[in-house]
Amino acid sequence: MRAVVQRVSSAQVAIEGQVVGSIGRGFLVLLGVGEADGPEQLERLWSKIHKLRIFADDQGKTNLSLADVDGELLVVSQFTLFANCRKGNRPSFTQAGSPHLAEELYERFVERARQDVARVETGRFGADMQVSLVNDGPFTILLDTDELM
């Protein structure tokens, strides 16, 4: 699994002009599922995101996690995180998980996050979405479960 985690002061996702999810301070997570992903990768990724200490403490050091600041979470599916651009100019998405697998793991990821975070909002899997955010920092982290311990 791959994720782009952005620390935000606010974020929202709209479909056909209607806001379907919005948060205040927290993380916007763009989530991609690969063909070889399963529950182990989901748990590893969530554990890392949930414990990321990228909010400032009283001394301005990035020492606080999402839980420490009562942060909110907006999760948006994004298969394009598995784009392969090595050859040519048109990305290949053959490493992305099938729509069935990706939707299942996306929904399970959201449910797992809801066990730890009071407010979890989402986009809609497979929809054409418009995502708006105010990136706080800016602070953006790329995570890939193949590279996480």
Residues 108-120 have pLDDT tens digits of: 999 999 999 999 9
Q: Which residues are catalytic?
A: 78-80
Distance between CA 63 and CA 60 in Å, rounded? Answer: 8
Q: What is the DSSP code string of 53-115? A: --EE-TTS-EEE-TTTTT-EEEEEE-GGGG-B-SSSSS-B-TTBPPHHHHHHHHHHHHHHHHT
Instruction: Give me the pLDDT at residue 18, please.
Output: 97
Segment 94-107, tens digit of pLDDT: 888 999 999 999 99
Number of C-beta neighbours around residue 70 at 10 A: 12
Q: Which residue positions in the chain have pLDDT lower than 70?
A: none
8, two tokens: 């935000």
